[in-house]
Amino acid sequence: MGISIDEQIRILSRRSERILNEDDLRKKLARSEKTGKPLRIKMGMDPTAPDVTLGHAVPMKVIREFQDWGHKAVIIIGDYTARVGDPSGRNETRPVLSGEEIDRNAKTYVAQVGKILRTDPEHLEVRYNGEWLAKMNLVDIIRLTGRMTLAQVLQRDDFAKRFSEQVELRLHELIYPLLQGWDSVMIDADVEMGGSDQLFNNLVGREFQKEEGKESQVVIVTPLLVGTDGAIKMSKSKGNYIAVTDPASGPKGMFGKIMSLPDHLMESYYTLLTDLPAEEFRSLIQSNPRDAKVRLAKVMIMWLHDAASAAAAESEFVRTTHGGVPDEMPEFSIGSGPHKLAPLMVKAGMVTSNGEGIRKIKEGAVKIDQQKVTDFQKEYTFDKPVVLQLGNRKFARLKP
RNA sequence: GGGCGUGUACCGAAGUGGUCAAACGGGUCAGACUGUAAAUCUGAUGGCUCUGCCUUCGAAGGUUCGAAUCCUUCCGCGCCCA
């Protein structure tokens, strides 16, 4: 394998907010090296929404390092815990999904995770925690809850906060960390990865393993990636996320989303999501933020798509920001007309109502074949396809 | 079971009889600027056959010339006491 343990720790530290604890990790790594037995690196995924985001990608990149050193990722799909709802980092109760929704989401996870992780059976094991949680009966569950006190559970920051602020806190939410901890026992995790908001949950696993007379897992938490709003943690439910499966270009594509990140986020994105050396991107960010962001976008797309898509996304971006028109856009057959423009904009999905379309025309935001439209009452007849444009990001080809 | 409180547009939050399609903030969209879609400034943001009309303020009824605002019932939610 060739890399010293010191070197491994150094590499891991780039994305580690905390390692609990480092000595244990060193011991595990050393033993694994000696025996050739890979470590089991656990990460839980809550299938409450179908997208794996760049937020998940941060701990997953760490897992990928472990895989590259010969260890095994164990991804736990929380099909059962999703029925409970992880309250991490929330100040409100998470909605509980139906079984079908969860299953549907869970299925797509494996493919998405494959963009980041090695997926051969040597390096990846995917488990559903319903596998063992579904078998527990009431007595088992009551015993599990008896392992912790209320005071211990309320140490968790968001629980404590909600409790003291008199925000709703349901009993089932308190059980969530216990279930997640039990997962670690069941799969014999050596290391559990997660965002820093998972710290408490992961430590429960460490504790439970010890109680069961097993070797305790090491807990590594990564910094939380801030979402596209530049303010709060990237999360599916807040809509401030970039998904690993987002298209490279287009109005909702990775390139555009990354370009619209506030500049001050670039350093953390470079650090957490790329492997470029810090000196390199720091100086680029300082000297030319615009180019630094383009570079970031391209690196991300090369990673999650491919080099050709990255180049195409950039050229499309440059063209459209300079008033150009992209090669590809959605097409709509509308018949020759006559048509008023606002309803066409609705049909093309650019606006949600005629009124909004009319407003946009009045604002001077609408163009047909690059010509600004000013009269919202005017009726148009088309004998050949035209490009309808709102702002410089939304395009549709209208065919007679 | 008892008490207090609460339900307003995408979200948060004002409004306690007419001047309310409803302040303000956030978000979103657009305009200007910019070799970033960042930042900043500006505008828009219920629907429509758009200088007017229609439908909204948890639901249903009611009082009134007139209700988001008052009354009745119902539903949802929060906390406290038991």
Tokens for A204? Answer: 């429960």
pLDDT tens digits, A101-160: 777 777 788 889 999 999 999 999 999 988 999 899 989 988 998 898 888 888 887 777
Q: Which nucleotide is closest, CA of A290 to its C1'?
A: B36
Torsion of CA A219, A130, A46, A273, to 10 degrees: 50
CA A273-A270-A23 angle, to 5 degrees, is 60
Overall fold of domain A5-222: Rossmann fold (3.40.50)
Using CA atoms, how far apart are residues A41 and A31, in angstroms rounded to an integer?
Answer: 15
Q: Does domain A250-321 have CATH number 3.40.630.30?
A: no
For A130 and B12, how far is CA from C1' in angstroms? 38
Class assignment of domain A331-399?
alpha beta
The H or E element containing residue A158 is helix A157-164
Predicted TM-score of the model (pTM):
0.86
Domain ranges of chain A: 5-222, 250-321, 331-399
Side chain identity at residue A348, one-letter code = A
Q: Which nucleotide is closest, CA of A251 to its C1'?
A: B37
DSSP state of A393: T
Q: Which nucleotide is closest, CA of A257 to its C1'?
A: B37
For A200 and B72, how far is CA from C1' in angstroms? 51
Assess whether pLDDT exceeds 80 at residue A1: no
**DSSP for A30-68, written as a single string:** HHHHHH-PPPEEEEEE-TTSS--BHHHHHHHHHHHHHHH
Model pLDDT, residue A103? 74
For A396 and B13, how far is CA from C1' in angstroms? 38
Query: What value does the mean pLDDT of chain A take?
Result: 88
For A379 and B29, how far is CA from C1' in angstroms? 24
Model pLDDT, residue A93? 43
Model pLDDT, residue A80? 81
